[in-house]
Amino acid sequence: MAIKYIEIKATKIERMIKSEDFKCFKKHIETVIGIKNDIYEIVIENVAYDESGLPNEEVNARVTFKNNYSKVDKIVFFRDSLGKNINRKFGRISHNNDIFNKIADIYIKNALVHELVHIKQFENGKLTIETIMDEKKLHYTDRTLEIEAENRARKIISSYGNFEEEIMKYISSKNCFTNDSMCKIEEIYLDKKTSK
Ligand SMILES: [Zn+2]
């Protein structure tokens, strides 16, 4: 049987980020993490550029600071990269629209929580211009601030249920989403629906 892959579009990602549901989720997580500074913008761009000016599609979102790291500026979501990364990892299940949309929702929310943890790190003095410079010398997977953001986001998102917990196993690792994973995910998803 041929499986038809349906790609999630960047415009859809943008709509999800601008939705009321997403705003409510953001407010809720700010309380959970204990963020004081809620005066920062949410901005949507296509793709991130690294310091050498090259596009970097691995970056899904990024928090920026202003006045030499004295203030949070904004959280930027990169809609084209988010779309590509979701399709690349989960395209196999895109024939099931409900599940694919739910996965995209989890993926984007995880990216948000990750950035909110960075804002919290900034507020409690862990993230400064100095610590950022030190971390940049290390490989991404060895950066303490990144490890904390990844772990905290995974825990928070996973706490929403078995389905979320299972999806996070793929988002926060290099694990490939195989046919077996797809069967398991479908089972958990249906279970979740019937147990409501
Ligand atoms: Zn990060």
Q: Across residues 111-135, what is the average pLDDT?
A: 95
Give the tens place of pLDDT for each residue, 88-108. Answer: 999 989 889 999 999 999 999
How far does residue 190's CA lie from ligand 1's centre (Å)? Answer: 33
How far does residue 149's CA lie from ligand 1's centre (Å)? Answer: 6
How far does residue 50's CA lie from ligand 1's centre (Å)? Answer: 14
Q: Is residue 171 part of a domain?
A: yes
Residue 142 structural domain: 10-194
CA end-to-end span of the chain, whole Å?
32
- Residue 142 to residue 136: CA distance in whole angstroms: 10
How confident is residue 116, by pLDDT bands cut at 50, 70 and 90?
A: very high
Q: How many residues does the chain have?
A: 196
Q: Is residue 2 part of a domain?
A: no
| CB distance 5 to 92 below 8 Å | yes
Q: Is residue 5 part of a domain?
A: no
How far does residue 146's CA lie from ligand 1's centre (Å)? Answer: 5
- Residue 94 to residue 4: CA distance in whole angstroms: 8
Share of the chain above pLDDT 70, in %: 96
Q: Across residues 9-22, what is the average pLDDT?
A: 96
Q: Is residue 94 part of a domain?
A: yes
User: DSSP label at 9?
Assistant: P
Give the tens place of pLDDT for each residue, 45-63. Answer: 999 999 899 999 999 999 9
How far does residue 87's CA lie from ligand 1's centre (Å)? Answer: 21
How far does residue 114's CA lie from ligand 1's centre (Å)? Answer: 6
How far does residue 161's CA lie from ligand 1's centre (Å)? Answer: 24
How far does residue 118's CA lie from ligand 1's centre (Å)? Answer: 7
How far does residue 34's CA lie from ligand 1's centre (Å)? Answer: 18
Q: Is residue 4 part of a domain?
A: no
Q: Is residue 1 part of a domain?
A: no
| Total tally of structural domains belonging to the chain | 1
